[in-house]
């Protein structure tokens, strides 16, 4: 994400949820976002199996473990290492969740014969460029990959929670999520900073519908540069908006 400014650190130290996380020994202020989301939508329940995509430093894993208890299981994956939690039923993998190799490692850890989880959660953010159109497109790309993984990993009627940066592509993304889940909501928990463009997609009751080829996001390294692909995606979205306006 790049170097943080002195102002960013000062703002964080004055932040209520940052200080509360320190006091209660949570690994990040984001822990309270998941608490609030779950209190409102009841997506995570005791004794369930949870997959956390982009889990570092582990704040969401902590909360998930508190909810599922000793009889549940929490698997996290992130490019960054995550300090062990000291529980037998909480495991973090260092790896790229957009790669098949990492996903196969996750499958090996799922403690049931069907190799399916009850809930997929993701508070992952893309690398921030500082250019809004690019960052929004990167966020949509990342959260679409998370959705695709959810359709492969979830049990039928399982739930999905993911962060996305709000922007002009979000309506199309919500339509995509609705293809696979019975209920879909967009929300922003109180613990999110007011100035932040992040919102959370809450998708409940996976229908069991298989991922469609036309919705694919390629997981392996793409031949074109990330920037070129994003520019194409942004142009495509804007062309669609122009076409829609002309048809009205």
With 0-12 / 13-18 / 19 or more C-beta atoms within 10 angstroms meaning exposed / middle / buried, residue 82 is buried
- Whole-Å CA distances, 97 to 122, 189, 243: 11, 25, 35
118-135: per-residue pLDDT in tens? 999 999 999 888 888 899
- Domain-embedded: residue 4: no
User: Is the preceding peptide bond at 57 cis, omega within 30 degrees of 0?
Assistant: yes
- Domain-embedded: residue 203: yes
77-92: per-residue pLDDT in tens? 999 999 999 999 999 9
The total of structural domains in the chain comes to 1
Tell whether residue 123 is among the known ligand binding residues: yes
- Domain-embedded: residue 174: yes
Domain that holds residue 118: 30-247
- The token duo for 144 is 């679409």
- Domain-embedded: residue 14: no
Tell whether residue 226 is among the known ligand binding residues: no
The stretch 83-107 carries a mean pLDDT of: 95
Catalytic positions, please?
Answer: 163
- Domain-embedded: residue 160: yes
Q: Strand pairing of 73-78 and 90-94?
A: parallel
The stretch 227-238 carries a mean pLDDT of: 59
CATH code of 242's domain: 3.40.50.150
- Domain-embedded: residue 112: yes
- The token duo for 97 is 């969740």
Question: Would you call 200 helix, strand, or coil by DSSP?
Answer: strand
Instruction: For residue 76, name the pLDDT band (cuts at 50, 70, 90).
Output: very high
Tell whether residue 132 is among the known ligand binding residues: no
Instruction: For residue 26, name the pLDDT band (cuts at 50, 70, 90).
Output: confident
Tell whether residue 96 is among the known ligand binding residues: yes
Instruction: For residue 20, name the pLDDT band (cuts at 50, 70, 90).
Output: confident
- Domain-embedded: residue 178: yes
DSSP 8-state class, residue 215 = G
* Closest to 50 (Cα-Cα) out of 24, 69, 26, 31: 69
- Domain-embedded: residue 212: yes
């Amino acid at each position: 994400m790049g170097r943080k400014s002195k102002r960013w650190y000062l703002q964080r130290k004055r932040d209520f949820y940052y200080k509360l996380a320190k006091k209660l020994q949570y690994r990040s202020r984001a822990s309270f976002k998941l608490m609030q989301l779950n209190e409102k939508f009841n997506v995570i329940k005791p004794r369930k199996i949870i997959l956390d995509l982009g889990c570092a430093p582990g704040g969401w894993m902590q909360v998930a473990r508190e909810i599922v208890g000793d009889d549940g299981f929490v698997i996290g994956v992130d490019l960054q290492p995550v300090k062990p939690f000291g529980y037998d039923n909480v495991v973090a993998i260092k790896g790229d969740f957009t790669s098949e190799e990492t996903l196969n490692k996750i499958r090996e850890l799922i403690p049931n014969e069907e190799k399916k989880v009850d809930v997929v959660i993701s508070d992952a953010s893309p690398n921030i460029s500082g250019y809004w159109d690019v960052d929004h497109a990167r966020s949509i790309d990342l959260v679409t990959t998370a959705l695709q993984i959810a359709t492969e990993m979830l049990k039928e009627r399982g739930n999905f929670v993911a962060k996305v940066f709000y922007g002009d592509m979000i309506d199309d993304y919500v339509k995509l999520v609705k293809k696979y889940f019975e209920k879909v909501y967009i929300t922003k928990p109180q613990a999110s900073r007011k100035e932040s463009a992040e919102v959370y997609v809450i998708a409940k009751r996976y229908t069991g519908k298989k991922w469609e080829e036309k919705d694919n996001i390629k997981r392996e390294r793409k031949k074109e540069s990330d920037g070129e692909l994003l520019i194409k995606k942004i142009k495509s979205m804007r062309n669609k908006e122009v076409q829609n306006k002309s048809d009205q």
